[in-house]
């Protein structure tokens, strides 16, 4: 079996949870993909999710602006206008 690039983390998850190595590797890959999402994709995805919940654009852009700093590599602070431009061009 080929070594996983995060073998230590896989081993840690297997020790501290009921996950098996393959499951732990998939969880790690999912988490890295989630936090590796480019800013523009994140903004578009969250806009769609929040719009589906019935929030207004003003509410959506405020929430997205508050969520961006918690991303794995926090992007530069984007104004509400910049967020709108990502969605609407």
Render each residue's pLDDT in the chain as its tens digit; 89 residues: 456 689 999 999 999 999 999 999 999 999 988 888 888 999 999 999 999 999 999 999 999 999 988 877 666 788 999 999 999 98
> Residues 62, 80: contact at Cβ < 8 Å?
yes
3-class DSSP state for residue 3? coil
Q: Supply the pLDDT for residue 63.
A: 97
pTM, full prediction: 0.64
């Amino acid at each position: 079996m080929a070594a996983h690039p995060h073998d230590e983390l896989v081993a840690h998850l297997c020790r501290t949870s009921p996950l098996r190595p393959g499951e732990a590797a998939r969880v790690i890959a999912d988490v890295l993909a989630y936090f590796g999402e480019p800013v523009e994709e994140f903004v578009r995805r969250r806009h769609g999710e929040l719009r589906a919940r019935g929030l207004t654009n003003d509410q959506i852009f405020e929430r997205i602006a508050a969520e961006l700093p918690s991303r794995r590599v926090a992007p530069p602070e984007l104004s509400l206008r910049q967020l709108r431009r990502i969605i609407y061009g």
